[in-house]
Amino acid sequence: MRYEAITWGRMAGRLAKHVDRLTPGDGGDWLKVAVDGAPAARGEELVALLAEQLRDRGRPVHAVGTGGFLRPASLRYEYGKQDPDAYYAGWTDVGALWREVFTPLEPGGTGRVLPDLWDPVKDRATRSPYVTLPPGGVLLLHGPFLLGHWFPFDLSVHLRLSPPALARRTEEAWTLPAFARYETEVDPAGTADVVVRADDPRHPAWTGLGALGSD
């Protein structure tokens, strides 16, 4: 896999240009983009840059983080507070993401997306109001372990950290086996449309968009 050095801002601009040319794969009115990566990769920062670039192009954007779709503590901690298998497969409410985020953006959907569902600190529902994403809008979903769920992404970006970088930048070391399992079972670098090498956050490199026909 060949990587090209690039700045985060330039990357966001090129991604936005590519997204602006895409047609929803499901034939509907909304594009869905994933920025997948461990929390240490700080995918929300790339999402913020990408959202800004898309809005400059006149595209309505709604960003959703999986951190707002965690399951209640009683379910997350069923096997203890530091179980990597539960963190990998049981912390995120995948069913709620399908129900509250993806289903409204299916062909003929309402476009009414729930921005978040559960506050993990207070361990209760957030009661956030729905947000209507107009036709032609773009959903930006960011968080870990996004690939492998059959989510209908039109573009997927994986922020890759090497094992040493991941270990160095991850505060909760007990989660590391979950990311190793993700690498083995899903192979996100081989699955995503675009891979970003983010070991040094000041100097990212990426695979580019050449294989997608718009680089």
Q: Which residue has the higher pLDDT, 212 or 133?
A: 133
pLDDT at 214: 57
pLDDT confidence of residue 106: 97
Question: What's residue 65's pLDDT?
Answer: 97
3-class state of residue 44 by DSSP: helix
Instruction: Give the pLDDT confidence score for residue 208 in this predicted structure.
Output: 94
Residues 132-156: what's their mean pLDDT? 97
pLDDT, tens digit, for every residue of 155-174? 999 999 999 999 999 999 99
SS3 8: helix
Count helices and strands (H / E) in the chain.
Answer: 8, 11
Average pLDDT over residues 174-179: 98
> In Å, what is the CA distance from 98 to each residue of 5, 70, 165?
35, 13, 32
Angle between helices 43-56 and 8-21 (to 10 degrees): 50
Is residue 211 over pLDDT 90?
no
pTM: 0.95
Say what the pLDDT of residue 212 is: 79
Mean predicted lDDT score pLDDT of the chain: 96
Contact between 71 and 97 (Cβ < 8 Å): no
CB 194 within 8 A of CB 206: yes
The pLDDT value given to residue 213: 63
Cβ neighbours around 166 below 10 Å, total: 22
**Where does the pLDDT of residue 38 fall: very low under 50, low under 70, confident under 90, or very high at 90 and above?**
very high
